[in-house]
Amino acid sequence: MKKLLTTISCLLLITSLQAGNTLKRTPSVAVIPQPARMTVGDKVFTLRAATPICLLAEAPELAYAAELLNRTLAPVLGGELPVSDVRREKGILLSLSPAMRPEAYELKVAPRGVTITAGSPAGAFYACQTLLQLCPAAAGAAAVQIPCVEIEDAPAFDLRGMMLDVARHFFTVGEVKELLDLLAMDKINTFHWHLTDDQGWRIEIEKYPELTRTGSYRPYTTIKRTLTPDNTPHAGYYTRDEVREIVTYAARRFITIIPEIEVPGHAMAALASYPWLGCKGEGYAVWCRWGISKDVYCAGKETTFEFLEEVLDEVMDLFPSEYIHIGGDECPKDRWKECPQCQARMKAEGLADEKELQSYTMRRVERFVRSRGRKIIGWDEIYEGGLSNTAIVMSRYGNQRTGEVIARGNTVIMCPAKHCYFDYYQDDDYDREPIAHRSLLPIEQAYQLNPRKDFTESQLKQILGVECNLWTEYIPDFSHAQYMLLPRLDAFSDAAWSLAPRDYENFRCRVAVMFKRYDTIGYRYATHIFQQQ
């Protein structure tokens, strides 16, 4: 009964927001992710097109916050707010405080104006995201009334990430940018870009043009979970200039892009482009179905490592990220067991088995990446057969596995599949849902993510952050991707950012307000959170 009443109240809230102009009423205070501390007053600040944005610090990146406000508010107010570098009355004042944590901010809305103090331009940007969520999601008003609040906020984790797989299905530059805007709204600061896999190679490498000429194309895709071809070619890749454009776009939203180049498995697109990279040396094709191929990079050939180093050199030239993801997951050892060159490598290096050969491969690639001043990230499997203590493990198997990796001395990024894999079904009525991964991850379960649970303060120091993932085997277009992400992405951001007490019913009401905002923007979202239980 409590859930039903909450659902009704939330839906009434949506209805009231949809009914028209709400300026005569105090707007609902609903922010995602939830601020650490917030006090709500009983008055409002009236924001008009003439309200100035005052940047009271010498930081060029602070202008990104002003740009965000103007980009969002201009359609509502009928024009951009003036931007100044001097203090003005009844303005939005942005300043920096070196005493604060870099992404922390304080936001005070009073009847005479808005004051934002942040530890860095990123913190000011996040404060502006919060300010925008305090505004009613309406258009065409001469003024907007914002409730008076005092907020002190800072993130729970330094890295808050989202992974998009563009290898299985390609997404355009414009769609990636739209996703980055969505991530910024939820204060997610890392975009993990899965660029290569068996089904497609999506990044231009100048020294190896066949990777995109051959590796970015598949003639068909198998329908659902059958082997029946759909007879629809699929292709696409990002040029070097497009990658730079997206990296710059992300940086202006304080999002770091971590590229992933899969090693040593999930390599069929590369092997189809350059067959000498595999143990057999022939007979490869870009995969048109899902699953795990037994054909992987040959770890016995020096030419394989030369290729990988030259590819990674170009990748690191395009991405300034401190971290480079090199995969390491789901690498069958069948070909290595049959390959004379791989067996010779094992004997020469004193490796006991093929698991140690994978460890050798990952360590060697890591040494190269570190020689360029970067660090590697890899999936859980990279610690099988031995792991350097400088590698970062992306752990998807839950807290027990995360604890094992921490005990070995490694840093971890948590992405437990049971809470963070958004390619899973959202509802158990599979016949009514778009086809998805066979597993189930309803919104309630996504919200239950608690990255701090079961770990001591000492262990938490080895957890770099958390990430949610969207694999796209069954997600052919961006509209479908939005449906799979929203509102589970909101639930994830609450856990990744907020140190506030967890309250699912409170979250549901905040989502109700967020849906109105999504309607205004034009996002597609799932509504299971309001289905009667």
Active site residues: 197, 266, 330
φ, ψ dihedrals at 121, nearest 5°: -55, -30
Q: What is the dihedral of CA 222, 227, 230, 235, to 10 degrees?
A: 30
3-state secondary structure of 202: coil
Q: Record the tokens describing residue 512, joined without a space.
A: 């109700």
Other CB atoms within a 10 A radius of the CB of residue 13 amount to: 17
From CA 261, how far away is CA 47, in angstroms rounded?
A: 46
From CA 7, how far away is CA 531, in angstroms rounded?
A: 8
Which residue from 151, 169, 131 is spatially nearest to 47, judged by alpha carbons? 131
Q: Record the tokens describing residue 385, joined without a space.
A: 């057969």
DSSP secondary structure string for all residues of 102-153: TT-EEEEEETTEEEEEESSHHHHHHHHHHHHHHS-S-SS-SEEEEEEEEEEE
From CA 377, how far away is CA 381, in angstroms rounded?
A: 11
Looking at residue 451, the DSSP 8-state letter turns out to be T
CA dihedral over 355, 360, 365, 370, signed as positive or negative:
positive
DSSP secondary structure string for all residues of 56-81: -SS-GGGHHHHHHHHHHHHHHHTSPP
From CA 322, how far away is CA 113, in angstroms rounded?
A: 39
Looking at residue 222, the DSSP 8-state letter turns out to be B
Looking at residue 199, the DSSP 8-state letter turns out to be T
CA atoms within 13 A on the CB side of 42: 0
From CA 220, how far away is CA 167, in angstroms rounded?
A: 14
Which residue from 115, 142, 131 is spatially nearest to 69, judged by alpha carbons? 131
Q: What is the dihedral of CA 260, 264, 266, 268, to 10 degrees?
A: 110
From CA 119, how far away is CA 121, in angstroms rounded?
A: 7
CA-atom Rg of the chain in angstroms:
24
Q: Which residue has the tokens 């189809």?
A: 272
**CB of 21 within 8 A of CB of 134?**
no
Q: Which residue has the tokens 């198998």?
A: 222
Q: Record the tokens describing residue 210, joined without a space.
A: 């066949």
From CA 98, how far away is CA 118, in angstroms rounded?
A: 8
